[in-house]
Every structure is written in structure tokens, then in C-alpha cells.
Amino acid sequence: MKNVLFVCLGNICRSPLGEAVFNHKADPLSMRADSAGTAAYHVGENPDHRSISVANKYHVPIHHKARKFVAEDFERFDYIIAMDRNNYDDMKALAQGGIDHLFLLREFDPEADGDMDVPDPYYGGSDGFEHVFHMVSRSIDELIKHIASDQ
Ligand code: 4NP
């Protein structure tokens, strides 16, 4: 079983979508995703209603309670996937061992053209969540292939 952790800032918009899309697409016998945030503002909360709406639109089940990323997550997870470079750098600063298993999600985006961040949709409208959903979804297709070929 490969355990995958998606990480963003608040753990209510982008990373719960990553977790939900991954668990919807991946073989549940070989891979499982969770999510966390580098900040604690929203700990214990459900995903943002706009993340829930876009997941429902594409028939992706979404259930999560926000939690904060902790250094021990580096030991607990086989792959840690940051939504943007700030999340990546914040986690890297907490690492006590190697970070060979820390990635940016858009390293797996076949349409990434230099910009490696999944944009934070929190302060925008629902179109931002639609954009993030498709970016996350196509990147996860490649991430799942990568993990499957790694084992
Ligand atoms: P997320 O979005 O990192 O994708 O969950 C955000 C949610 C909340 C805040 C920022 C980003 N906030 O500042 O409260």
C-alpha cells in the first residue's frame, strides 16, 4: 500500500480536492490519499463549499476534516505532494531527514508550462475551483501512473 499526502495552505480548498480525486481514480488496494495544510486556520473544518460543489459536479466523493501538516508526516507517507512552491518550501523547512518523496503536484501536469503552482482559489470565484479541479485531475492521472510504475 502506497500512502500519499496532498498538502496546501488551508487544507480546505486544493488539497482535499487532490485527496478526493486521487481516491476516486486510484486502485484502493494499492494506493490511498490523505490531505493536510501547512497552516492551522481551518483545522477541523469540512472542505470549502466551492470544493464540495465542483467535486459533486464531477461525481467525486469528498469527505475530509482539515488538519495541520506535522513533521512526522514525512515518515508516515510514501509521497508528499505540495500544491504550490510555498507549501513545498514550508514542508521542506520542517524536514529532519531526506525529502526525496516530496514533490510539487504540477511536476506531473502534462500541461505545465513553467508555472508549477496550483493557484490558490480561496479568494476568487467558482471558476477558479473549476480550473483547479481540471489541473488537479490531469496531474493525478500522471501521478497515479508514476506511483504504479515505482512499486
Ligand atoms: P487552500 O486555500 O490552501 O487551497 O485550502 C486556502 C484556504 C484558506 C486560506 C488560504 C488558502 N486562508 O487564508 O484562510
Confirm whether 13 is a catalytic residue.
no
- Specify the pLDDT at position 39: 98
- Specify the pLDDT at position 32: 98
> Do the Cβ atoms of 76 and 101 come closer than 8 Å?
no
Confirm whether 85 is a catalytic residue.
no
**Structural domains of the chain, count:** 1
Checking if the pLDDT of 143 tops 90, the result is yes
Q: What SS3 string covers 84-136?
A: CHHHHHHHHHHCCCCCCCEEEHHHHCCCCCCCCCCCCCCCCCHHHHHHHHHHH
Q: Give the whole-angstrom CA distance, residue 112 versus residue 95.
A: 27
- Specify the pLDDT at position 88: 98
Checking if the pLDDT of 151 tops 80, the result is no
Residue range of the domain that includes 89: 2-150
Taking only the tens place, the pLDDT of each residue in 97-132 is 999 999 999 999 999 989 999 999 999 888 999 999
Q: What is the CATH number of the domain that holds 90?
A: 3.40.50.2300
Distance 27 CA to ligand 1 centre (A): 29
Using CA atoms of 101, 104, 110, 116 in order, give the dihedral in degrees to the nearest 10.
-150
pTM: 0.98
- Specify the pLDDT at position 108: 98
Taking only the tens place, the pLDDT of each residue in 40-65 is 999 999 999 999 999 999 999 999 99
Tell me how crowded residue 137 is: count the other CB atoms within 10 A of its CB. Answer: 17
Distance 25 CA to ligand 1 centre (A): 24
Cell 486510484 belongs to 26
